[in-house]
Structure 1
Amino acid sequence: MAAGVLSSEIFQLSGLNLQTFLVFFLAFLLACLYLRRPRNLPPYPAGCWPVLGHLLALGRAPHLKLTAWRRQYGDVFTVRMGMEDVVVLNGYTAVKDALVDRSELFASRPQNYIFDLINGFGKAIVSTRWGKAFKQKKMFVSTTLRTLGVKGMGSIEEKIREEMGCLCAKVAEYGGQPFDPESDLHFAIANDICSVAFGSRFDYGDERFRNLSDAALVTMDRVGSGQTINVFPFLRFVPGVNKSLRDVSKYNAKIHAFLWDEISRHRQNLNRENPRDFLDFCLVELERREKVEDFTDEHVMYMTYELLFAGLDTVANAMRWCLLYMVLYQDVQKKVQSELDAVGGSAQPALSHRAQLPYTKATLMEVQRMRAVAPLGLPHATTQDVTFGEFDLPAGVMVLTNLHSLHMDPAYWPDPDRFDPERFLDTEGKVISKPKSFMPFSGGRRGCLGEQLAKMELFLLFSSLLQNFTLKSPEGAPVLSVEGSMRLTLTPPSYKICAIPR
């Protein structure tokens, strides 16, 4: 009996000590976290939970919530992503100050486990931290794309136009019956990128090509659904929770195998004096090492991977938004078609026609304004301590640029929810070349390297399809929704359309 009472007292005392220890440990941990926070960060919105931070408040459409918070907390505030402070910049003035006017101070990248994993932990470009290695690789890629004709009137245009002919022929096979354009767009855009990277296109039915495209799409989907692991990296060790990461590794291996095979094939047929494509230029640089120090085969593979990965999902979703809006706004579609007919007639649209097609260009820009596929861009990080207005941002802090807030700002875009391409035309009917508060490709030193290629693809895709088809909603179908879902990019809902030959 005495022994039982004594054991009970010891157990109660041990439990009390354990509870006290846990309370003091938690208080100590919170105190350490609080004390190590910078003392003059921008304010925190309400709704911050312990451990989770603002994740619950941000929900499934974080760009919309951040834009709403802007009205309450101003252009600059801080959100908690799990246990990490993230500074959010809203509005044209703040974003331009960071990305353009003081670009180098915001030109690094924060740690991001999944992005770092798929980019070889610094072997590609997008997630590489600021420094000499990044500058060398960026300069090399920019020069290579320019040489290949991405930034001019070179051979890449002809390859894209060839692909547009193949896509239009594929769409014509549907005979005006309802179809979902998603897979056809993905194959066409994947072929555009393959033409740049490997110098050749693939038939849509080619098994090797379809496996590559499918693996890339699954990887992008899993990267989007696995963002929780970026906030709480320890979850990558938890079975079930880490399924997205395991899928990324699985499908990444398939993409890597394809790329290594292409690298081997290019090496066997390399013409050092006349490089034909992106891989050729990389292999020549690998031998000469004139522009990039410490360049290896793995750098070549990961940089080619990034070219494929970065361009596929973004351009495909941008085009899906364009087609969706043309179905919804038949009057705009008719104006685009009238302009195309007047300028080119039955001739296939070319980049040389762009100056003569201002309304067509303005329509593309208006779709990108309303539904930018990367409404938050990619995360930035400060390269040193920065004074931003009245606030102090420490070196290395993550910075998000809410590009959606620029595009829907009534100060620059009256009635911003109204679809109106003429916003981008001046009084003479010409396209406004550099409109303020419009940054669909971000900007500054970490702006999209593939911007010019994407613009070429979008223009040629859009103009070719509308020249050849009138897009309509299937008879009796509900009105298409413009509410996108935020994954890795802002993705439109699945839909079917009818493409009536003109």
Structure 2
Amino acid sequence: MGFTERLLSTVMSTIENLYTKPQIITNLLTTSTVVLFLAVLAVVRAIQHYRYLLTLPDGPWGVPVLGSLAKFTKPFHLQMYEFSRQFGNFISVRMGSQIIVCINDAKTIRKIFSRSEFVARPKSALDCIVEGFGIITADGELWKKQRKYLHKHKMGLKFWGNVSETMEARVSHEVLDCLNALTKDTNEDPSTDSTGVNLSPYLSCSISNVICSIIMSTRFKHHTERFAKFINYFDEGFRLFTLTGPTIFLPFLRFLPNIRNVVKKLRANRFELLEFVDEIVEDHKANLADRKLNGDCSSEPRDLVDQYLMEIKQRREEGTLDEVFDDKDPETQMKQVLMDLFSAGFETVKTSLLWTFIHMLRNPEVKAKVVKELEGVVGPQRLPTMEDMAKLNYTRATIYESMRRTTAVPMGTTHSNTRPVLVDGKLIPTNSHVIPNLYAVHMDPVEWPQPEEFRPERFIQPDTGKVYKPKNFLPFGTGQRMCLGDSLAEMELQLFFASIMHVFDIDCVDPEKLPSLDGNFGATLTPSDYNVKLTPRNIEALVTANLKAKPANYMHMRTYGC
């Protein structure tokens, strides 16, 4: 019999005596006896808890209530990376009331996230804001049905014919619009020669137009108040959500006045965004009604909104709404999915591009090689295409190296498990927060020698000169919860980056003040604002692209700001 078992036996024997021999209670209930009794219980509980901790992945010790929160002195991804250097690639950290399991190597991330037990999302005190709608925070059957639905209909592109060609046409249209806006503004404002241009608002508008045009046939003109207001709700939402982070680990904090005000503001922002999406949905309903009135009953859906509305109508008539929407209100679910797809498809692409241009400013020799390759493959008379990208190995490798060196979402997306799971002999308790540290994966000095250096050659096979993706490169995550739009995101990154680099020379406004690689950690790792000096180089390529532009697929679009 072990020590713990002997202690429990003594405690149970004492309790039995108290019940069977009440005459001795008075003698036993002295202060010293009660203290000893409680001490024994405390020791037993401590031993049990210690044994439980030994079943978990290794990690730093914490204190009651706070766990290891007091040990966080760096941004989350950097602190977890430091812990992994001490305790291994598979670690657990108690943060307040939550167990955080952090995975810091690609092999284990793939192994864990390929399992069906880890497709859940962790619950938090802020679930009341989204209320289980959408695709990002959805769980269980709703998530499975909606993800399957979005895959089936290619996010609204299925009925436009060849999906890849349609995607490229949409992206190329917005690339051209972005280049035109940059050219126009720099020509009209001579001060940009000295002050430079902030690429962020141009990329924000053009990249958001890609996803908006695909899922809801909506676009924005550059510098319009409506877009500024629309995007501000998302930007503010990301910022506010970061402020509520501690409530995930210390739920009681949500009752504090300042946190309650933040949550109230988040709800108000979501309501405003839903109102905007509702306006678009009502336009689609009116258009579908007009088409039916005109006898065009067999018309195919133009986008994801049309597809959802047609599906909802058909399912209502058949009484089978639950097969797609589970027990959720279908229109609210549709609107939240639209907002989820926008936020996921906009922020990470824009952030990755901004980082890539920073690396060009900080690594002029890499920039020169990219420009040389573009000149040789594309030439001065046109813009790059996806067909060109197959030959632009160094340009693509440069994008991948930027995504490795400054991963836009360094902690990936948090998963949770629906039951206790043993991995490599260690327990992951039910409802743990399971986080892939993509920063650690991409900065592992064993897999990536001198990881701080920017070297696109890491992604080029020495024997063939072709670009490739090593197994330890996971910018879009992995597993069943992997990014839905990874192919679209790659296309956007390649065409926007290659086209801007092809049309303009990009330089620092002040060569003595390079943009920093110290990002701002929140929902994504974003760079601080910076300006670049743009000098037209292949402006004839832009002229030719405008002459050959074919906006036929945009005739049905609603463009705000015209």
2:175 equivalent in structure 1: 164
Deviations 1:312-351 (A, max 9, x none): 2211111110111111111111211222222222312222
Are 2:59 and 2:91, in contact at CA under 8 Å, matched by a contact in 1?
yes
Does 2:95 correspond to 1:81? yes
Q: Distance in 1 between matches of 2:398 and 2:168?
A: 21
In 2, the alpha carbon distance for the partners of 1:411 and 1:246 equals 46
Contact 1:322 1:364 in 2 (8 A): yes
* Cα 1:123/1:35, change in 2 over 3 Å: farther
Task: Describe how 1:230-249 pairs up with structure 2 within 5 A.
Answer: 230-249=248-267
Structure-1 separation of matches of 2:199 and 2:106 = 34
Q: 1:69 to 1:182 in 2, by over 3 A?
A: same
Paired AA for residue 287 in structure 2? N
How much has 1:456 moved relative to structure 2? 1.5
Aligned equivalent of 1:259: 277
297-306 vs 30-39, greater mean Cα deviation: 30-39
Q: Identify the residue that residue 93 of structure 1 maps to in structure 2.
A: 107
How far apart are 1:147 and its partner, in Å? 5.8
Contact persistence 1:60–1:486 (CA under 8 A): no
* Cα drift, residue 38 of structure 1: 6.5
Q: Which amino acid aligns with 1:52?
A: L
User: Tell me, what secondary structure is at the counterpart of 2:102?
Assistant: strand
Residue 324 of structure 2 is aligned to residue 314 of structure 1: no
Query: Does residue 1:382 correspond to 2:400, yes or no?
Result: no
Q: Shift in Å at residue 36 of structure 1?
A: 11
Q: What TM-score do the two structures reach when normalised by structure 2?
A: 0.79
Matches within 5 A, 1:44-63: 44-46=59-61, 48-63=62-77
Matched, 1:331 2:342: no
Aligned to 1:40: 55
**Which stretch shifts more, 185-194 or 226-235?**
226-235
How far apart, in 1, do the equivalents of 2:100 and 2:52 lie? 12
Tell me the matched-pair count.
Answer: 473
> Residues 260-318 of structure 1, C-alpha deviation per residue, up to 9 Å, x if partnerless?
11111111112663111121111122123376144611111110110112222211111
Report the alpha carbon displacement of residue 430 of structure 1 after superposing the two structures with TM.
0.5
Given the alignment of the two structures, is residue 278 of structure 1 paired with residue 304 of structure 2, yes or no? yes
Give the distance between the partners of 2:370 and 2:54, measured in 1 at CA: 54
SS of alignment partner, residue 211 of structure 2? helix
The answer on 1:205 being equivalent to 2:223 is yes
Q: Structure 1's 33 and 309: CA in aligned 2 closer, same or farther, altered over 3 A?
A: farther
Which of residues 470, 486, 493 in structure 1 aligns to 2:521? 486
Deviation at 1:232, TM superposition (A): 2.4
Shift of 1:122: 2.1
Residue 148 of structure 2 corresponds to 139
Check whether the contact 1:375–1:490 (CA below 8 A) recurs between aligned residues: yes
Give, in angstroms, the shift of residue 381 of structure 1: 1.0
| Counterpart residue identity of residue 153, structure 1 | S
The one-letter code sitting in structure 2 at the alignment partner of 1:428 is T
SS at match of 2:138: coil
Alignment of 1:1-16 (within 5 A): none
- Check the 8 A contact 1:92/1:406 in 2, yes or no: yes
SS in structure 1 of the partner of residue 55 of structure 2 = coil
What amino acid is the match of 1:169?
N
Q: What is the aligned-residue identity percentage?
A: 30
For the aligned residue pairs, the C-alpha RMSD in angstroms reads 2.6
- Does structure 2 retain, via aligned residues, the 8 Å contact 1:128–1:134? yes
Write the distance in 2 (CA, Å) between the matches of 1:238 and 1:442: 35
The match for 2:124 among 99, 107, 112 is 112
How many Å separate the matches in 2 of 1:32 and 1:225? 37
> 2-side partners of 1:113 and 1:310: how far apart?
22
CA apart distance, 1:444:
0.7
Map of 1:393 onto structure 2: 428
Give the deviation of 1:391 after TM superposition.
0.7
Post-superposition offset of 1:225: 2.4
Separation in 2, partners of 1:31, 1:128: 37
- Are 1:438 and 2:473 matched, yes or no? yes
1:34 Cα offset (Å): 4.2
Pick from 300, 317, 324 the counterpart of residue 292 of structure 1: 324
Q: Residues 465 and 32 from structure 1, CA distance in 2 versus in 1: closer, same or farther, beyond 3 angstroms?
A: farther
Q: Deviations over 1:138-157 (max 9, x none)?
A: 01112222661799423232
Contact 1:156 1:195 in 2 (8 A): no
Matches of 1:331 and 1:385 in 2, distance apart? 51
SS at match of 1:316: helix
Q: Hey, what's the Cα distance between the residues in 1 that align with 2:513 and 2:451?
A: 24
Q: Distance in 2 between matches of 1:33 and 1:163?
A: 60
The residue that corresponds to 2:7 in the other structure is: none
- The CA distance in 1 between the partners of 2:336 and 2:266, in whole Å, is 15
Q: In the superposition, relative to structure 1, how do residues 96 and 394 fare at CA in structure 2: closer, same or farther (>3 Å)?
A: same
Please name the residue that 1:429 is paired with: 465
Q: How far off its partner does 1:399 sit?
A: 0.9
2:17 paired residue number: none
In 1, Cα distance between equivalents of 2:257 and 2:48: 29
**Counterpart code for 1:161:** S
SS at structure 1 position matched to 2:496: helix
Q: Does 1:215 align with 2:229?
A: no
Output the CA distance in 2 between the equivalents of 1:431 and 1:219: 37
Q: Distance in 2 between matches of 1:381 and 1:33?
A: 25
For residue 451 of structure 1, the aligned residue among 480, 486, 500 is 486
1:407 aligns with 2:442: yes
The superposition leaves residues 436-462 of structure 1 with CA deviations (integer Å, 9 ceiling, x where unpaired) of 111011111011112122112111111
Q: Aligned partners of 1:117, 1:186: CA distance in 2, in Å?
A: 29
Where do 4+ consecutive residues of structure 1 move more than 6 Å? 30-33
Using the size of structure 1 for normalisation, the TM-score is 0.88
Residue type of the alignment partner of 2:96: G
Query: 1:475 matched to which residue of 2?
Result: 510
Q: Which shifted more, 476-485 or 349-358?
A: 476-485
Query: Does structure 1 residue 228 correspond to structure 2 residue 240?
Result: no
The aligned counterpart of 2:498 is 463
How far apart in 2 are the matches of 1:275 and 1:39?
56
Counterpart amino acid of residue 311 in structure 2: E
TM-aligned CA distance change 1:340 to 1:476, over 3 Å? closer
Q: Give 1:209 shift.
A: 2.5
Which one is further off, 86-95 or 200-209? 200-209
